[in-house]
Chain A
């Protein structure tokens, strides 16, 4: 592309206009900074959503609440049902220690769990294909009337939906940021074109085609967009790296951390060229419009 060929003299035919340069640099930097966070929001929301829909979809819990005399018998019956259910990879009764650990946040470490009528919990892990919840519930009802199957769908679905909406919100922000960059750069370019009306007229009079004149402006504003966005992205990346990551690995805490991982950092490298592309388009449009008015 001729745009990126070094052409020092051809660029100098248009004198630099200080404030349009600063406006473009500043707007691109600020918008790139915001774009990085919008992108991080989308990426972490996307990761949260997929963690919940994948990992949690593969686990379920069977809870057995029955009069104390029947609990043990029903637990054995429920485990027998689970062992013969297609799609169930494993079913394991939680021990007293595990149940104590689950309740510890609410009741403290010394809960005499054996003497309390707490329900028996069976952790079910599904195979990749999953099991048929409706069929399993029906069979459990027959064999162990006190057993309730909880496949987490009830609370997982709204959370996955919420994460999906966060992700959409992030993309919406990216779109708005792009439009704002386009508007700011177009305004700055228009100001530069208007300030250089005499220069443009002179260039036309010595035989310059519109494309030559436009290129001088487009090249300049594209490079400014690239430089500004580069600085903004770098600053945002530093801030992002310094954000405390709340409880790495825990799905609940993932909400709190705008952290992005591994390959996703590479996506940030797209922000400066994308900003430059928006600046390129905006300046081209502005130049084309301004030039049809010059003789």
Chain B
């Protein structure tokens, strides 16, 4: 874990600005607004959970933060910069500072896991050192599956491979959408531990999940905050969690 551990940024350090800032953001998939009046500031180095009923818009919010969707109203800032209307190449470069674990992890099915994990470096013109890649794969427990093709992996293995890929380019923010969606409790804890480790290295973590037990487990390890998505907006959750 040499490369990941080298990160000098202490948790919570940086500017007073949020690394992710929603300012009165609204979004609609075409019909009536799914989200409106969403305002939130995610400070650097923090650990946030996003909860809420299925269909409330958690994935939508994460995709907005990853510039996969554009707000239909309001402003979004990333790393202190307004990104509401940036062009495609800037989107690509901004994404390199964010690691994203999607709900349905997409891989290039014709390339082995090791190459898929190294993809974020390849597309940004950087070389993946074999040692770093090996470290990362053993960190997520996939050393022995490095040469397997993505369709040959189990659901949990795919989630872990996706997490490895998300942190490959040493991003400042890691976003995970239901990372424990289809894994057993033991694996969930393991993935949570990985996310907590990343947070301790100074990365900002944003995780959408239904799993309240997982949130309680996390709160025992880090000071995680919870945002509740529902009724078309997002608010900090009460102390009941």
Contact = CB atoms under 8 A, between A and B. Distances in A.
Q: Which of A13, A15, A199, A207 gathers most chain B CB within 10 Å?
A: A207
Interface string A193-211: 0000011011111111111
Contacts of B119: 13, 203, 206
B96 A207 contact: yes
A61 to B, nearest CB: 74
B2 interface: no
Given A203-B123, A206-B123, A209-B89, A13 B95 contact: no
B93 interface: yes
B122 A13 contact: yes
B106 A205 contact: yes
A210 B93 CA distance: 11
A207 B124 contact: yes
Interface residues of A, number: 21
Contacts of B96: 207
Q: Which of B89, B93, B122 gathers most chain A CB within 10 Å?
A: B122
B88 A15 contact: no
Contacts of A202: 106-108
A12 B111 contact: yes
A207 B169 contact: yes
Interface in B83-115: 88-89, 92-93, 95-96, 100, 102, 106-108, 110-111, 115
B217 interface: no
Given A10-B122, A13-B122, A210-B88, A205 B108 contact: no
B179 to A, nearest CB: 16
Given A9-B115, A13-B111, A207 B106 contact: no
B86 to A, nearest CB: 13
B182 interface: no
A43 to B, nearest CB: 45
Given A9-B115, A13-B122, A199-B108, A205 B88 contact: no
B159 to A, nearest CB: 16
A80 B135 CA distance: 104
A212 interface: yes
B31 to A, nearest CB: 20
Interface in B115-152: 115, 119-120, 122-125
B165 interface: yes
Interface of A: 9-10, 12-13, 15, 198-199, 201-212, 292, 295
6 contacts: A13-B123, A201-B106, A203-B123, A205-B66, A206-B119, A209-B93
Interface of B: 66, 68-69, 88-89, 92-93, 95-96, 100, 102, 106-108, 110-111, 115, 119-120, 122-125, 165, 169
